[in-house]
Amino acid sequence: MANTPPSSSNTRKDWHLREVHELTQAHEVDPTQGLQDHQIAQRTLEFGANELPTADSRSLWALVWEQFSDFMILVLLAAAVISGVMGDLVDTLVIVVIVLLNAAIGLVQSWRADQALAALQRLSEAQATVLRSGQVQQVPAQVLVPGDIVLLEAGNQIPADLRLIKTAQLKVDESALTGESVTVDKHPHMLEGTEHALGDRLNMAFKGTTATHGRGHGLVVATGMATELGKVAGLLDQSQQRSTPLQLRLAAFGKRVALAVLGICAVIFVVGVLRGEDPLLMVLTAISLAVAAIPEALPAVVTVLLALGARKMVSINALIRRLPSVETLGSVTVICSDKTGTLTQNRMQAQCLVAGQPDEASDWMPPTALSGTAQTAAPDAAHTELLQAAALCNDATLAADGSWRGDPTETALTEIAAQAGLMKTTLDAQWPRMLEHPFDAVRKRMSTIHQQAQEVVAYIKGAPESVIPLCTSQWSAQSGGAPGHINTSAWLARADALAAQGLRVLAMARRNHGSLPEPQASADTIERDLCLIGLIGLIDPPRPEALEAVRECMQAGITPVMITGDHPATARAIAHRLGIVTEADAEVLTGADLTQLDDTALMVKVRQVRVYARVDPAQKIRIVQALQAHGEFVAMTGDGVNDAPALKQADIGIAMGKGGTDVAREAASLVLLDDNFATIVKAVREGRRIYDNVRKFVRYAMTGNSGEIWTIFLAPLLMLPIPLLPIHILWVNLVTDGLPGLALAAEPAERGIMQRPPRAPTESLFAQGMWQHILGVGLLLGGLCLGVQAWALSTSHAHWQTMVFTVLTLGQMAHVLAIRSETEALWQQGLTSNRPLLGAVLLTFCLQMATIYVPFLNPIFKTQPLSLPELALCLAASAVVWVVVEIEKAWRRSRRAASTDVAADAP
Ligand code: ATP
């Protein structure tokens, strides 16, 4: 019956009232091996994916409806139909086709934005650690099936409903399910009685809750909608927050512009009618202009730019979890980073073992130590005891390929023990672990209790200042391991000396117990009266790329700050090597110092301190707040359970993708897939580029719109006839807004993007002369159109309307090429450095030429073929836009150079 899936699993829900072995039997699983492949396949078929239905992204129809439900579009279509019925049917048809094309572009943009967002969301889906076919594996949480054996540790989100099989000090935060904020102690024993509320089912862990402490193994008993969360959640809205602050601001801005445009269109209509134009034509003209000039698509295009940018950021290992952070990354002024693994390689190697006495004479250098004085002699009794403690009080596991898996500090310890002939697996068999108090970042130590026959020993490993003060004796080989006198301050001084060399130092201690303590015995009762065995110094070299990244940060006006749980001397040494601090004896503020400082004093300190050490996760939040009080825009990294509040408080919370916990990832807005500091700097650079491109798009689109309005609005005031027909206006809007605008997303970063100071987060999108540009260059474009019109009319060129139509389109093409950079000239950038844009401009040019020179399009677009001199005039007029914007940029360049000179001359 091995293949029969446990159909009863999801129907009988009294798992907490049954023994573990009964449940594993019912699920046909060996808890030490996990499910086999064929069982998983069959159960996936029967139970489906372990996921809750989400409020899905918008359907295609909703997107289509969104495009057409715009009031102005409906009015335009209605007016076109009326005019068609009354006169020119072809005209109506063309208008409808152009509106349809416009809607299709809008649809593709919205669809691409949704797709990019969905792809990002898929990337941040939860993972689970599971035992299958005897192997520990990481799998996406949705593939779990009843019968799976899940391994939990602090920081994990519980991926399905589990009946706990084994626990070690496991505490779970069930507030997401029960609303109860106090964490619950879990155990694996069967419950007595029959009535147990969810919060009282202490041998169960429920999907959606989080393990905050300790470890455990659980049997999956319910998945997906069959879980307790599934029952209460129904439809879970996991959809990403759709609107970013920028989009909201743009939407509000768009409404104001819309009102102004509508006002102008009304004036154009009234003036036209008063001048004796056909009222129906004037209605169509006014509405076409409104449709073309109201920037209703801005928020949607900005989403596309942000979402495409976010998707591209995955390729540099930065996963955006909240879209708004793409736009705010460029404002970061301080990056607070962990040390271990982010600034350093987290490739630990034991370098120096101190046992027996705290002086150098008794050190044992492992054969692989990088130090030139490495010796290969076998370790003596004291060092052997030290290595045994390091291997036993250790959670690394041996993988099938013979390598050690787990926390790099711990794998380094098992490796060095193995080199000295002490295999962890053999030791574990001789001294089985009976109880444990897992490592946590506040205690900064862990302990495990082992038994061999009647002998019970607790091994403790942790930060020297956390372990040494608990020691009342030291292990002495001379007296056969009997406790000897300890000179605590000498040991602490030795630990400091090792840390000052940049080593990560751990202390090991032990304690004999007469008998096995109670399973619920607190860590304090185990970790006292200890006998110190010795110290191990591990080298963790800085990441080579971090050095360059720190330099880049400083050039970009961003202050890098190290906040670590490690020893102050280690932190200072590494910070100095990386250039975070320049003096070798730079001030380091410790967690203990922090508790002495009130908020006002801390505000003064954060101005100068660049390195914080032995800091509790809870203290990080104070540092962030003090920095924010100075107006800093803070990015902060974190990986542990307790880091979540600080990640939320920071302006950009950054979690670790490899080493971090689910809790930290949930709280973060950016996840580093490679846990690397240099990636944060790359993400900031990318954020600046994307924001620049959003600004470029807005500058381009709004200037074009302003040009169109000026042209039509000013014509009657200058006693000129209405320069363009509705079709022309709609066509210009279609070809200029669609492709060239979007191709700006591909614009590479401006040169020197990381040499300018961060943008103030409150700075308006239209700051730094954008408003003036939109109005001024728009007026120039309008002036050129009208100038060409006036000249053509005065010289009785019959093609004046086609000429205005051409200048308005090509002028915008010249503009888009000119605004590719805010300062650099087009010839410095190179025409081909944004090929999509060059392609879009050429395509638009060809389409425009087609409307003029393809004979059957002439009656449709109401155009006439231009003579060569006429075309040359149009091209020259359009080129003026480019020349003027280049002059504007040259002026901006010279102003920037002058301000840098002044800054450089400043004392
Ligand atoms: P960072 O905060 O930069 O990542 P960190 O890894 O040193 O630095 P924590 O993980 O909070 O910070 O560790 C704090 C201290 O606890 C370490 O400096 C070390 O002394 C000790 N420690 C770290 N890992 C273990 C472990 N697995 N067992 C025992 N002690 C440990």
DSSP for 607-618, written as a single string: TT--EEES--HH
Side chain identity at 815, as an amino acid letter? H
Beta strands in 463-598 (DSSP E): 471-475, 483-484, 504-513, 530-539, 559-563, 588-590
Q: What is the dihedral of CA 605, 609, 611, 616, to 10 degrees?
A: 10
Give yes or no for a contact between 350 and 537, defined as CB atoms under 8 angstroms apart.
Answer: yes
Dist. CA 153 → ligand 1 center (Å): 16
> Which pLDDT does position 129 carry in this prediction?
92
Q: What is the average pLDDT across 892-905?
A: 72
Q: CA separation (Å) from 597 to 167, 187, 590?
A: 39, 40, 11
699: helix, strand or coil: helix
Dist. CA 15 → ligand 1 center (Å): 37
* Pocket flag, ligand 1, residue 340 (CB < 6 Å): yes
In whole angstroms, give the CA distance from residue 863 to residue 871: 13
Q: What is the average pLDDT across 77-82?
A: 76
- Pick from 343, 566, 672, 677 the residue to mutate for probing ligand 1's pocket: most ligand atoms within 8 Å of its CB: 566
> Which pLDDT does position 377 carry in this prediction?
66
Give yes or no for a contact between 577 and 540, defined as CB atoms under 8 angstroms apart.
Answer: no
| CATH topology match: 4-54+120-230 vs 245-316+686-905 | no
In whole angstroms, give the CA distance from residue 253 to residue 451: 71
In whole angstroms, give the CA distance from residue 817 to residue 874: 17
The HSE-up count of residue 1 (CA atoms within 13 Å, CB side) is 8
Dist. CA 889 → ligand 1 center (Å): 52
Dist. CA 522 → ligand 1 center (Å): 21
Q: What is the average pLDDT across 530-545?
A: 93
Q: What tens digit of pLDDT does each residue of 623-674 get?
A: 999 999 998 999 999 888 778 889 989 999 999 888 778 888 888 889 999 9
Q: What tens digit of pLDDT does each residue of 860-879 get?
A: 888 999 999 999 999 999 99
> Which pLDDT does position 627 carry in this prediction?
95
Which residue's CA is the nearest one to ligand 1's atom 13? 565
**If residue 434 lies in a helix (H) or strand (E), which one and from where to where?**
strand 433-440
Q: Pairing mode, if any, of strands 127-132 and 149-153?
A: antiparallel
In whole angstroms, give the CA distance from residue 94 to residue 83: 12
**Long-range pairs of 645-653 with CB within 8 A, sequence gap ≥ 24:** 645/618, 645/621, 646/617, 646/618, 646/620, 646/621, 649/621, 649/624, 649/625, 650/336, 650/624, 651/328, 651/331, 651/332, 651/761, 652/325, 652/328, 652/329, 652/332
> Which pLDDT does position 42 carry in this prediction?
93
**If residue 353 lies in a helix (H) or strand (E), which one and from where to where?**
strand 349-355
> Which pLDDT does position 131 carry in this prediction?
93
Sheet holding 334-337, edge to edge: 318-320, 670-672, 652-656, 634-638, 334-337, 559-563, 611-613, 588-590
Give yes or no for a contact between 170 and 213, defined as CB atoms under 8 angstroms apart.
Answer: yes
> Which pLDDT does position 410 carry in this prediction?
93
752: helix, strand or coil: coil
Contacts of 36 (CB under 8 A, 6+ apart): 132, 133
Minimum mean pLDDT among 7-11, 160-164, 489-493, 741-745: which range? Answer: 7-11
> Which pLDDT does position 10 carry in this prediction?
46
Model confidence band, residue 357 (pLDDT cutoffs 50, 70, 90): confident
Q: What tens digit of pLDDT does each residue of 709-756 get?
A: 999 888 888 888 888 888 898 888 888 877 787 788 889 999 889 998
Percent of the chain with pLDDT over 70: 92
* Pocket flag, ligand 1, residue 866 (CB < 6 Å): no
Give yes or no for a contact between 461 and 507, defined as CB atoms under 8 angstroms apart.
Answer: yes
In whole angstroms, give the CA distance from residue 55 to residue 135: 35
Dist. CA 566 → ligand 1 center (Å): 6
Dist. CA 339 → ligand 1 center (Å): 10
Which tokens belong to 469? 């003060």
Of residues 178 and 775, the one with the higher pLDDT is 775
338 is catalytic: yes
Side chain identity at 31, as an amino acid letter? P
> Which pLDDT does position 889 carry in this prediction?
92
* Pocket flag, ligand 1, residue 407 (CB < 6 Å): yes
Protein fold of 349-539: Calcium-transporting ATPase, cytoplasmic domain N (3.40.1110)
Of residues 310 and 684, the one with the higher pLDDT is 684
* Pocket flag, ligand 1, residue 445 (CB < 6 Å): yes
> Which pLDDT does position 468 carry in this prediction?
96
> Which pLDDT does position 9 carry in this prediction?
46
- Pick from 564, 570, 612, 637 the residue to mutate for probing ligand 1's pocket: most ligand atoms within 8 Å of its CB: 564
* Pocket flag, ligand 1, residue 459 (CB < 6 Å): no
Which residue's CA is the nearest one to ligand 1's atom 30? 462
Protein fold of 245-316+686-905: Calcium-transporting ATPase, transmembrane domain (1.20.1110)
Model confidence band, residue 2 (pLDDT cutoffs 50, 70, 90): very low
* Pocket flag, ligand 1, residue 441 (CB < 6 Å): yes
Q: What is the average pLDDT across 764-771?
A: 84
pLDDT at 91 over 90: no
Give yes or no for a contact between 765 and 694, defined as CB atoms under 8 angstroms apart.
Answer: yes
pLDDT at 610 over 50: yes
In whole angstroms, give the CA distance from residue 54 to residue 52: 6
- Pick from 347, 439, 498, 637 the residue to mutate for probing ligand 1's pocket: most ligand atoms within 8 Å of its CB: 439
The alpha carbon dihedral of 333, 338, 339, 344 has a sign of negative
The alpha carbon dihedral of 151, 152, 157, 161 has a sign of positive
Which tokens belong to 734? 């279609």
Q: What tens digit of pLDDT does each residue of 92-140 get?
A: 787 788 778 877 877 887 777 777 767 766 666 788 999 999 888 889 9
Q: What is the average pLDDT across 278-304?
A: 79
| pTM of the shown model | 0.81
Percent of the chain with pLDDT over 90: 47
The alpha carbon dihedral of 450, 393, 363, 377 has a sign of positive
Which residue's CA is the nearest one to ligand 1's atom 17? 566
Q: What tens digit of pLDDT does each residue of 202-259 get?
A: 999 999 888 988 889 999 999 988 888 887 765 444 433 445 667 677 777 778 888 8
Q: What is the average pLDDT across 811-832?
A: 91
Q: What tens digit of pLDDT does each residue of 457-486 get?
A: 999 999 999 999 999 999 987 777 778 889
The domain 4-54+120-230 is placed in CATH, from the list 3.40.50.261, 3.40.50.1980, 1.10.260.40, 2.70.150.10, at 2.70.150.10
The DSSP bridge partners found for residue 35 are 132
* Pocket flag, ligand 1, residue 566 (CB < 6 Å): yes
167: helix, strand or coil: strand
In whole angstroms, give the CA distance from residue 267 to residue 624: 53
Give yes or no for a contact between 574 and 584, defined as CB atoms under 8 angstroms apart.
Answer: no
Q: What is the average pLDDT across 875-893?
A: 94
3-state helix, strand, coil in the chain (%, to 5): 50, 15, 30
Which CATH number applies to 324-344+544-682? 3.40.50.1000
| CA–CA–CA angle 512, 513, 514 (5° rounding) | 125
Give yes or no for a contact between 10 and 120, defined as CB atoms under 8 angstroms apart.
Answer: no
> Which pLDDT does position 72 carry in this prediction?
64
* Pocket flag, ligand 1, residue 462 (CB < 6 Å): yes
Domain range annotation of the chain: 4-54+120-230, 60-113, 245-316+686-905, 324-344+544-682, 349-539
User: Residue holding tokens 């952070």?
Assistant: 325
DSSP 808: H
CA 557 to chain CA centroid, nearest Å: 21
Dist. CA 209 → ligand 1 center (Å): 26
* Pocket flag, ligand 1, residue 130 (CB < 6 Å): no
CA 130 to chain CA centroid, nearest Å: 26
Contacts of 164 (CB under 8 A, 6+ apart): 170, 186, 187, 188, 203, 204, 205, 216, 217, 218, 219
In whole angstroms, give the CA distance from residue 752 to residue 685: 10
Compute how many other C-beta atoms are within 10 angstroms of the C-beta atom of residue 394: 26
* Pocket flag, ligand 1, residue 463 (CB < 6 Å): yes
Kindly give the number of the ligand 1 atom that is closest to the alpha carbon of 461. 29
Model confidence band, residue 521 (pLDDT cutoffs 50, 70, 90): confident
Averaged pLDDT of the chain = 86
Compute how many other C-beta atoms are within 10 angstroms of the C-beta atom of residue 75: 14
In whole angstroms, give the CA distance from residue 725 to residue 76: 14
Side chain identity at 105, as an amino acid letter? I
* Pocket flag, ligand 1, residue 339 (CB < 6 Å): yes
* Pocket flag, ligand 1, residue 409 (CB < 6 Å): yes
Compute how many other C-beta atoms are within 10 angstroms of the C-beta atom of residue 764: 11
Backbone angles phi, psi at 129, to 5 degrees: -100, 125
* Pocket flag, ligand 1, residue 640 (CB < 6 Å): no
Dist. CA 565 → ligand 1 center (Å): 6
Give yes or no for a contact between 154 and 213, defined as CB atoms under 8 angstroms apart.
Answer: yes
Side chain identity at 117, as an amino acid letter? L
Dist. CA 849 → ligand 1 center (Å): 68
Range among 265-274, 310-319, 652-661, 846-855 with highest mean pLDDT value:
846-855
| CA–CA–CA angle 640, 183, 32 (5° rounding) | 70
Which of 338, 566, 639, 643 is flagged as catalytic?
Answer: 338
Give yes or no for a contact between 758 and 557, defined as CB atoms under 8 angstroms apart.
Answer: yes
